Structure 1
Amino acid sequence: MDASIDQYVADQVSVDGPAKPGGQQKNIWSNRKHDPRVGVRSGEMQSLQSPVPSLVLEDPAAIRPLFDARQRTALLPFLGRGCTVASAAKQTGEHANTMLARVRRWERLGLVFAVGRERHARGIQTIYRCTADTFFVPHRFTQAEDLPALAQSLHTPDVVALFTAYAQAASAFPADAEWGIHFARQGERWAMQPQRCPETDCDPLDDHLPAALLQYAELRLLPAEAKVLQHELAALLRRFETTQSKENQGRTYHLFVGLA
């Protein structure tokens, strides 16, 4: 795998997943029939030559990285595409040695596998990819006591990051101001927002203040109306995800949307 390494990598890493040299792909499915909506179970996989569409995880050690926010971030560069350790470290801000240790552990757990190699200025680097394009973890194999606890374990880091950034936005306020929280009625709910002083009419939407917003509302809606709102919120997220700064010149803002 020396003179032909470029062709090997081209054969191994593709949109549809790495192919076995010679164009033949080894069957990774067991003899048992599978529902494609459920996916292959980790204990039923044979020697892997290409990623499966979906993998059901039942091993607590393999499940743990998916429930750790930092490890999920580090694993993302390998999901659905091939990536080297160095490239993944650069994308996520991880130290290269830390990323290498993670990848080796994930490989032992069956979360990633080597799909090829590529030339590099300092030698040849291995290209890794997740063993599946999607992972499914049954609730009974998690450590969560119930579904609310499961949701908290997944999303609490995102909420904490939002709260932290929201509080840090106060650094843009004038140093001599005595900022506080203004409590008032807004319809049938409390409106709580930062305000400079009781005499100052201040609103978070004021142009001279940083873009920071944290509000909560309880709405009485018909199911059909709630569904419309759900679609509108999802469309809002998609719109800004596709129009965000392509040159990475903007700063990072945290946006968390929920409806239930």
Structure 2
Amino acid sequence: MKSGHATRPLRVNDVRAARALLDPASVRYLLPFLGRENTAARAAAQLGVPVRLMTHHIARLRRLGLLSLLGERTRGQRAIKVYRAVSDTFFVPFLASSDETLGAGIRRIEARHYEQFVEHLARAVAQVAPPEAWGVHIFRNARGDVVFDPVADLPGWNPAATDIPAVVLGFPTLRLEAEDAKALQRELFELYARYASRSGSRSYLLRLGLTPLEP
């Protein structure tokens, strides 16, 4: 690996470093130094961990070549060490980690986000209706596709109503020509970019996915 803070991702081919970056329990200790300078004490406070534990992980990340010591700043009678990730952006090939296949790598990363998505989704929908009201509506649509639609069994249920939390869960199947699928892909990215440029008071986790089901 070559260090630097350029915008082009630093490709991480070292197996140990790759595993550290793809492991949520490990990479969290690098995040306070990603794209910014930081000290051990300040990083520990941001993560809510003891400084001694933060110092231990800083040494580990430096051995892996993921964190660099920029220098020291004097504060009173003390010299405070300042660190930063060796790059502001990383690219980790799935096959450089412990994943045996590309599918396994995607599945592991997706599972981490999906668990978080489901946990918060369950909290949000619990505010709308009791658990016994929730289930799956199974039917065949006008095109002949079988649909599994998570819904609440309530009279006049309308997930788009203004008093319903902004949550969406579903895996609809579309029948499109290749050019229409590419147009949908572009529009989804454009829609995401439009809202991503805004700054609000709450955080939302958005899941986007589109893939052909046949070769």
Coarse TM-score class (shorter-chain normalised): 0.7 to 0.9
Contact 1:54 1:134 in 2 (8 A): yes
- For residue 206 of structure 1, what is the aligned residue in structure 2? 161
Distance 2:165 2:65 in 1: 44
List structure 1 segments (4+ residues) > 6 angstroms apart after TM superposition: none
Which of 112, 123, 147 is equivalent to 1:168? Answer: 123
Q: Alpha-carbon deviation of 1:189?
A: 4.0
Q: Which residue of 1 aligns with 2:150?
A: 193
Contact 2:38 2:82 in 1 (8 A): yes
> C-alpha displacement at 1:95, in angstroms?
1.4
Query: What SS is found at the alignment partner of 1:152?
Result: helix
The residue number in structure 2 matching 1:222 is: 177
2:134 corresponds to 1:180? yes
1:234 aligns with 2:157: no
For structure 1, which segment, 235-244 or 99-108, has the greater mean C-alpha deviation from structure 2 after superposition?
235-244
Q: What SS class does the counterpart of residue 123 from structure 2 fall into?
A: helix
Q: Is 1:147 aligned to 2:114, yes or no?
A: no
Decide whether the 8 Å contact of 2:95 with 2:101 is kept in 1.
no
Contact in 2 for aligned 1:79/1:130 (Cα 8 Å) = yes
The residue type equivalent to 2:133 in the other structure is: W
One-letter amino acid matched to 2:190: A
**Structure 1 residue 106 corresponds to structure 2 residue 57:** no
What secondary structure is seen at the aligned counterpart in 2 of 1:133?
A: coil
SS at match of 2:88: strand
Q: State the 1:191 CA deviation.
A: 4.5
Instruction: Write the distance in 2 (CA, Å) between the matches of 1:179 and 1:120.
Output: 59
1:255 aligned partner: 206
**Shift, 1:136, TM fit:** 3.4
For residues 161 and 73 of structure 1, the distance between their equivalents in structure 2, rounded to whole angstroms, comes to: 15
Larger Rg: 1
8 A contact 1:193–1:204 mirrored in 2? no
Assess if the C-alpha contact under 8 Å between 1:67 and 1:153 holds in 2: no
C-alpha separation between the residues in 1 aligned to 2:182 and 2:45? Answer: 39
Shift of 1:225: 1.9
Residue segments in structure 2 that go unaligned for 5+ positions in a row: none
Match of 1:22 in 2: none
TM-score, normalised relative to structure 2: 0.79
Cα–Cα, structure 1 residues 153 and 193, in superposed 2: closer, same or farther, change >3 Å?
Answer: closer
Q: Judge conservation of contact 2:129–2:152 (CA < 8 Å) in 1.
A: no
CA shift for structure 1 position 120:
5.2
Q: Cα RMSD over matched residues?
A: 2.8
Does the 8 A contact of 1:189 with 1:217 survive in 2? no
Report the CA distance between 1:61 and its aligned residue: 1.7
Q: Distance in 1 between matches of 2:122 and 2:146?
A: 22
- Alpha-carbon spacing, 1:153–1:178, altered in 2? closer, same or farther (3 Å): closer
1:133 to 79, 82, 88: 88
Contact 1:118/1:126 (<8 A) preserved: yes
- Kindly tell me the number of residue pairs found equivalent between the two proteins: 206
Q: Structure 1 regions of 5+ residues with no counterpart?
A: 1-41
Map of 1:29-40 to 2, 5 A cutoff?
Answer: none
